[in-house]
Homo-oligomer: A and B are copies of this chain.
Amino acid sequence: MPDIQLLLTGNEIMSGDTVDSNSAMIAQVLGEQGLHIRRKVTLGDDPTALRVELADLAQRADVVIVNGGLGPTVDDLTAEILAAVAGVPLAEHGDARAHIETWCARRGATVNAANLKQALLPEGCRLVPNSMGSAVGFQLPVGDCLVICTPGVPGELRAMLPQVLNRMAEHLGDFAPGDVLRLQTFGLGESTAQQLITDAGIDWPASVDLGFRAGAPQMEIKLSVSDRAHAGDQQQCREALYSLFGDHIIGQGDTTLAQRVLELLAAEGSSLATAESCTGGLIASMLTRVPGSSAGFHAGFVTYSNAIKSSLLGVSEQTLETEGAVSEQVVIEMVQGALGASGSEYAVAVSGIAGPDGGGPDKPVGTVWLAWGREGDIRTRGLCWPVERTLFQTMIAAAALDMVRRMLLGLDSEPRYFAQRSQR
C-alpha cells in the first residue's frame, strides 16, 4: 500500500472559520480507487512551519498532496514553499502564464501583478490543469516522493482530482483499481438504514465495503470494492439494497431529487409549478439548478404573506382566517391556485413555521403542511420537523420534491422520515 499523506494549508482552516471538507473529498475520490490516506497535517500560512513540514512529509511518504495556498495573495505560499523544499528557484511558467491570460481574457479582465504571481512556480514543475479557476495545480518530485499541489477552492479541487489520480498512478506504478457504486437516497437515516440491513440478515460479501454519507437532504450509500474482479458481489449487494428500501433510492451517482423529478416529468411531457411559503423559493431554486429545467418548470410562486397567498394564488381569506396559513386547507388552495395560474399539470405547495419565531402551543416551530398533485388528485401531509431554520427549509423542500417523485412513479409509500414526524 503506498504511503499517501496530505498537507492542508490556510489560516482559515486553523482558525475554524472554514471547516475543511477538501480532505474528505480527496479521501473519498482516492478511496474509490482503493487508495487510502495515511496521515493529514494541517498548518496555517506560516512559511517556516510549512517548509519544515513539507520537507518532513516528503521524507516519509510516497505521495504528498498539498491543498490550498495557490491563490494570488501574499498569504498564498505553496509554490514558494515547494521550491524551497525541492531546492529550486521560482520561475515564471509559460503555460501557467498562458492559462492565466486566457482565464482573464475570457472574463474581459486585464492581467495584474497579483494574477501573475500565480504563474511563478518551482522551476521544472509539471502543471496539473485547472479547468475552473485561475490557479493551476503543479507537481514536482522531492527525492522519491511526488508532491502535488492543488487549489483550495472546492469546485476547482473536485474538477482537478481525476488528473491528480492519473499523476499518482504514473508515479506509483500499477495498483489494482477498485470501483465504487453510489446510490442517492432520501428519507432514510443512517442508523435506520444500517438496522434494516442488519435485521434483513443479508449475507454480506466481505469483498464489498458498505459506507454511508449522510448529507442534507440526501444520504449517499456507497458500495466499494477494492478490485473490480468483485463487481458481481457489488451488483448483488446493490440488488439487496434495492429490495430493502428501493422506494427511497432516488438514483445512482450524483442524482438529485430535483433532477429525478424533472426526468420523470419529461418522460410524460408534464410540468410542475411550485407554491412556497416557509421554503421561500428553495424548491424552485433546487429545480432550476438543473440544466434544462425549463422543460419541466415554468412558474414558481413565493407567497410569503397571507395577502399574497390570496392575491396571487386565490387562497380564500376566510380559510386563512379560520384555519391559519399553516393548514391543510391552505396548502390545498395553494396547489389549486398554482395549477390555475401556471397552466402546469402538477403543482406542489408548502406552508409551515420555519422558526425561530412564529410558533405557538397549537402549531409549534417545525409544523408544516405539504400538498401536491394535479387537477382532481391533490394529496396532503402534515408534519412536525423541529430543527434549525435552514435545515428545516432544506429538508421540507426535499420532502416536497420526494412526494412529487413518488406520485410520478405511482408509489403510495411515504419516506420513513415521515413516520416519526407526524403532527400530533
Contacts and interface: CB of A to CB of B under 8 A. Distances in A.
Interface stretch (A206-214, A233-241, A260-268, A398-406): A206-214
Interface residues of A, number: 111
A185 to B, nearest CB: 14
Contact of A112 (B113, B155, B195, B391): B195
Contact of A288 (B224, B287, B393): B393
How many copies of the chain does the oligomer comprise?
2
B41 A15 contact: no
Nearest to A390: B289
Nearest to A72: B191
A422 interface: yes
Nearest to A421: B108
B19 A20 contact: yes
A289 B389 contact: yes
Given A27-B14, A288-B393, A43 B49 contact: no
Interface in A336-353: 341-343
Given A180-B15, A190-B73, A289 B280 contact: yes
Given A71-B212, A281-B302, A294-B305, 10 more contacts: A16-B23, A40-B42, A45-B211, A75-B212, A109-B420, A281-B285, A284-B302, A299-B303, A302-B302, A308-B342
30 contacts: A12-B211, A13-B24, A14-B40, A16-B31, A17-B220, A19-B20, A19-B24, A39-B42, A40-B40, A72-B194, A73-B190, A73-B212, A107-B420, A107-B421, A108-B421, A155-B388, A278-B288, A279-B285, A281-B287, A281-B302, A285-B285, A288-B393, A291-B356, A298-B304, A298-B308, A299-B302, A301-B301, A301-B302, A302-B302, A308-B342
